[in-house]
C-alpha cells in the first residue's frame, strides 16, 4: 500500500455527522456520515464506515460502505470489503478482489492517446485496457 500523507482530520467510528463537508489535505472517516463531501485532497473511508453522500475529491481509498455518487480528479480505489452503491467517475479506478460496486463506472482523462486503464486486482493481477474510438460520422 502506498504511503498516504499525514491525516489532518479524523471522524471516529463512534461518531455520526450530517451536513456538508469541505476539506483540504487528508481526511479519514471511520464513523457514519450523511450529506455531501467535497475536497481537494485524499479521503480515506475505513472498514466499517458508512457514508450516505455524493462525493467529489482528488482521490479516495474506500474500505467501507458508500451510498452515493463518487467522483475523483485522480483516483478511486475500492479495497476489500469496501462497497460503493452508486456511480463512480475518475481517470484511474482500482477495484481490489473482494470489493464491490453497484452502479456505473465512467473513466475520463486518457493516460495514452486512445487508451484508458481499469485495474481489476485479483489473484492473477489482471489489467484491462479499454480503447476509445473518436470516429464520429
Ordered DSSP codes for 28-88: EE-SEEEEEEEEEEEEEE-TT-EEEEEEEEEEEEE-SEEES-EEEEEEEEE-TT-EEES-E
pLDDT score for 65: 99
pLDDT score for 117: 57
pLDDT score for 1: 40
Q: From the first residue on, what is the mean pLDDT of each consecutive set of 10 residues in the chain (137 residues)?
A: 70 96 97 98 98 98 98 98 98 97 87 53 51 40
pLDDT score for 73: 97
How far apart are the C-alpha atoms of 97 and 123, rounded to whole Å?
Answer: 8
Q: DSSP 3-state assignment of 7?
A: coil
pLDDT score for 55: 99
Q: Which three cell numbers stand for residue 43?
A: 479521503
Neighbours of 49 (CB within 10 A): 23
pLDDT score for 108: 83
pLDDT score for 118: 60
CB 119 within 8 A of CB 136: no
pLDDT score for 131: 40
pLDDT score for 27: 97
Amino acid at each position: 500500500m502506498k504511503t498516504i500523507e499525514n491525516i489532518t482530520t479524523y471522524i471516529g467510528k463512534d461518531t455520526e455527522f450530517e451536513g456538508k463537508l469541505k476539506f483540504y489535505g487528508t481526511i479519514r472517516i471511520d464513523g457514519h456520515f450523511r450529506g455531501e463531501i467535497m475536497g481537494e485532497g485524499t479521503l480515506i473511508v475505513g472498514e466499517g464506515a458508512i457514508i450516505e453522500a455524493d462525493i467529489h475529491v482528488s482521490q479516495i481509498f474506500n474500505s467501507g460502505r458508500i451510498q452515493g455518487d463518487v467522483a475523483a480528479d485522480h483516483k478511486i480505489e475500492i479495497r476489500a470489503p469496501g462497497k460503493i452503491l452508486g456511480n463512480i467517475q475518475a481517470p484511474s479506478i482500482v477495484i481490489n478482489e473482494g470489493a464491490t460496486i453497484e452502479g456505473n463506472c465512467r473513466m475520463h482523462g486518457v493516460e495514452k492517446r486512445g487508451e484508458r486503464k481499469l485495474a481489476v486486482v485479483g489473484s492473477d493481477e489482471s489489467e484491462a485496457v479499454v480503447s476509445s474510438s473518436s470516429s464520429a460520422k
